[in-house]
Copies of this chain bind each other. A is one copy, B any other.
Amino acid sequence: MKAYDVLIVGGGPAGYTTALMLKRLSPGMSVAVIRREERVLIPCAIPYLFNSIDSIDKNILSDESLRKLGVEIFVDEVASVDLNGRSVKTLKSGELGFKKLVLATGSRPKRLGVYGEDLKNVYHIIKDYNYLREMIKAVKEASNIVIVGGGFVGVEIADDLSKTGKNVTLVEVLPHCLLKNFDEDFAILAEEELKKRGVNIKTGVTVSKILGSGRAEKVRLSNGEEIPADVVIIAIGVEPNTDLAKAMNLRIGVTGGIVVDSCRRSSNPIVYAVGDCVERLDLVTGKPMLVQLASAATTDARVAALHMATNTSCRYIGHVGAFSTRIGEVVLGAVGITESRAREEGIEYVVGVAEAVDKHPTILPGAKTVKLKLLVSKTTGEIIGAQVAGGQSVAELVNMVSILIQSKTHLLDVLSLQVATHPWLTPSPVTYPLYTAALDAYKKLR
């Protein structure tokens, strides 16, 4: 039986990054990845395969870096795990041994659970090369497309399809799209941009049925409305894939994810778990949550790999949910908790807001308005959340706030913070939105 220092189950960003980090930290370690997929997709860009990216083959997470570092890859599945014997049985590659096992088993799409969900031309977002290739073909041939779910995946697909001239309808059960990441004031910015681009948005309704003989023809909503649909895309979120973890009797949390410690070790310390399949703790609320983002998955991977390779102390202090997206020309970012979340959790907070133009003088070509909302804890004076909207610079601006939250920065330290500014690149240092929002919050806190 071939045995490895670390055996990783799952080849998405979590498994991939774990392998990469391990070999970079400890080239002498033997590392293998077992994964189902022949070719692994870059998950974050899946929404753009329907229009912007002209071939699915351009959206592959290349194995080259792993192979160069000597990571072995098995395209296979794990049938069973023997934790005492430290080995797994695979379907095709026989038995493989390990000193440490990493579960990077990811997630699978939630089902709507309605009549017609299994009709032809009804698709879920399954990260599988062949499935998606067929789905892309169907979408390209369709005239009427209904997307169910106004989270970021549904919104991004709607955005990408809005450039094609197809008739696109987005159905969301909540009063607005993106309400998991944003408060209403920012969520509507996304919605307005989508509407401007011709997307039909139906909020506050659910899907009752998908109708059609053999293949999808229309979608019936809870308000009785029927929408023609050549293709239905269901993107209502994912759930952790914990089959293997359950078979191993690892502890599963209230959210359904695998419980891990700050080093990403499961209830059995020789088994780590990383990515979509784990349960995280929210840094701000301290509560368990699920987060299914590649960025979060790779943070798990780095933390776990660092611990396995070097045994240094683990500094992961909880999830902050840093997130960004682009709809049309509007970039939106969020990190930490929203106001609605803070209210739900009974967290006392103040809000600081700012608007600034992202070049100075503001007449420079290409200048855009940036809008920032900062949430500050009334108890600690620390930054606990932010939402940002504007141009390209939003993506790293939200990351600046992400660092401020992770380093538990007090509002007063934001006011004395030093940043680089430049006429062509940023707002003026006089009107830099982080300062203005911090000042606004500070006045409410006093």
Contacts and interface: CB of A to CB of B under 8 A. Distances in A.
Contacts of A162: none
Interface in A386-434: 392-400, 402-404, 406-407, 409-410, 412-413, 415-426, 428-430, 432
Interface stretch (A102-110, A199-207, A222-230, A357-365): A357-365
Nearest to A294: B429
A145 to B, nearest CB: 20
A17 B436 CA distance: 11
Nearest to A296: B418
Contacts of A58: 361, 363
Given A21-B439, A400-B400, A421 B302 contact: no
Contact of A44 (B360, B402, B439): B360
Contacts of A52: 364
Given A312-B412, A324-B425, A361-B45, A299 B418 contact: yes
Given A322-B418, A413-B315, A420-B399, A430 B310 contact: no
Nearest to A410: B315
Interface string A1-40: 0000000000001001100110011000000000000000
A316 interface: yes
A443 B21 CA distance: 11
Interface in A156-187: none
Contact of A364 (B53, B325, B424): B53
Chain multiplicity (copies):
2
Size class of the A contact interface (CB-based, 8 Å): 35 or more
Interface string A61-105: 100000000000000000000000000000000000000000000
A315 to B, nearest CB: 5
A331 interface: yes
Contacts of A60: 361
Contact of A299 (B24, B331, B416): B416
Contacts of A395: 393, 396, 420, 422, 425-426
Contact of A298 (B16, B324, B396, B430): B430
Considering residues A406, A429, A442, which has the most beta carbons from chain B within 10 angstroms of its beta carbon?
A: A429
Contacts of A416: 299, 302-303, 306, 314-316
Contact of A421 (B48, B295, B316, B400): B295
A446 interface: yes
B423 A402 contact: no
Given A294-B429, A312-B412, A361-B53, A419 B322 contact: yes
A333 interface: yes
Contacts of A419: 295, 322, 399, 402
Interface string A306-332: 100010111110011011111000010
A335 interface: yes
A16 B430 CA distance: 8
A446 B363 CA distance: 50
A259 interface: no
A391 B415 CA distance: 27
9 contacts: A24-B439, A24-B443, A45-B360, A45-B364, A306-B416, A315-B410, A325-B422, A392-B393, A392-B425
